[in-house]
Amino acid sequence: MKNKSFILPDFKHSNLNISATLAEFLGVKSNNATLPILKKALKKEYKNVVFICFDGMGVYPLTQNLEATDYLIRNITDTLVSTFPSTTANATTSLTTDTLPLEHGWFGWSVYFEKLHRNVNVFLNTDSWTNEELDVKDRSPLSNFDYYFDKSDINCKYAINTVFPPFIKPKNPRRNTAFDNTEKFFDAIQQICNKDGKQFVYAYNPEPDHSMHELGVTNPTVAAMLRDISLRVKRLVDGTKDTLLIITADHGQIDIEGYVELYKDEYLYNMLEIYPYLEPRAIAFKVKESKKTEFENYFTNKYGQDFELHTSRELVERGFFGNVGNKAQLLGDYIAIGTYTHKIALFTPDSMRFKGHHTSLTEEMQVPLIIIKSK
Amino acid symbol at 266: E
pLDDT at 57 over 80: yes
Tell me the whole-structure pTM to 2 decimals.
0.95
Q: Phi and psi (nearest 5°) for 78?
A: -160, 160
Q: Where are the strands (E) in the chain, listed by range?
A: 48-54, 76-81, 110-113, 118-121, 126-127, 159-164, 176-178, 199-205, 243-248, 254-255, 258-260, 272-279, 282-287, 307-311, 334-338, 343-345, 356-357, 366-373
Q: Phi and psi (nearest 5°) for 239?
A: -95, 5
Tell me the average pLDDT across 46-54: 98
pLDDT at 191 over 50: yes
138: left (phi over 0), alpha (psi -120 to 50) or beta: left
Tell me the average pLDDT across 61-78: 97
Q: How far apart are CA 135 and CA 296, in angstroms?
A: 34
pLDDT at 2 over 70: no
Amino acid symbol at 114: E
DSSP state of 165: -
Share of the chain above pLDDT 90, in %: 94
Confidence grade of residue 171 (pLDDT, cut at 50, 70, 90): confident
**Each residue's pLDDT tens digit, 118-142:** 999 999 999 999 999 999 988 899 9
Task: Delineate the domains of the chain, giving CATH numbers in brackets.
Answer: 16-106+142-255+362-373 (3.40.720.10), 257-353 (3.30.1360.180)
Tell me the average pLDDT across 254-282: 98
**Alpha carbon distances (Å) from 128 to 141, 161, 167, 182, 209:** 16, 33, 19, 30, 21
Q: Residue 38 contacts by C-beta under 8 Å, 6 or more apart in sequence?
A: 18, 21, 22, 246, 369, 371
Q: How far apart are CA 319 and CA 241, in angstroms?
A: 41
**Each residue's pLDDT tens digit, 154-167:** 788 999 999 999 99
| Mean pLDDT computed over every residue of the chain | 96
3-state SS assignment for residue 191: helix
> 43-62 b/e with 16+ CB inside 10 Å = b?
eeebbbbbbbbbbbbbbbbb
